[in-house]
Amino acid sequence: MTRRGFSVTLAVLISRWSSDLAGPLPMQIDRYLLEAESGQRFDWNGFLDRVWKRENMADPDDQADTAYHARVIVDVMSDVVPLGEMQQVHDGLPDDEDWDELFELVGQDTQ
């Protein structure tokens, strides 16, 4: 994943969540959270579409890569953000919009 891909994915994630998650993250990362406009409402597919467009991807099949990048970012964030805050993020997402896919890698050993 490129730096641009990371920053775009993180900014769109935070536009759905809250910038409160920035506190425990390293300064190089938390700036993306603090610059994002939070509190927007969109579903999982809307999220993928936003990231796909912001990354200027041309092939619709690239949305699978977009989804994977988001899962990796959430997994990394779960290592540094307190469990209670990550749980609040998860609990704040609608059950019926496929958002559980975002958390598929959290807690899995990928070695």
Q: Where are the domains of the chain?
A: 3-103
What are the start-end ranges of the E strands in the chain? none
Q: Report whether 81 contacts 21 (CB < 8 A).
A: yes
pLDDT tens over the chain, length 111 residues: 667 777 777 777 767 666 556 566 666 665 655 555 656 778 888 888 888 888 777 777 777 888 888 888 889 888 888 888 888 888 878 887 788 898 999 888 655
Q: What is the pTM of this model?
A: 0.72
Q: 3-103, superfamily in CATH? A: Uncharacterized conserved protein DUF2267 (1.10.490.110)
> CB-side exposure of 5: number of CA atoms within 13 Å?
16
The CA-atom distances, in angstroms, between 27 and each of 4, 23, 34, 36, 63 are 16, 9, 10, 15, 28
Q: Report whether 11 contacts 32 (CB < 8 A).
A: yes
The residue type at 7 = S
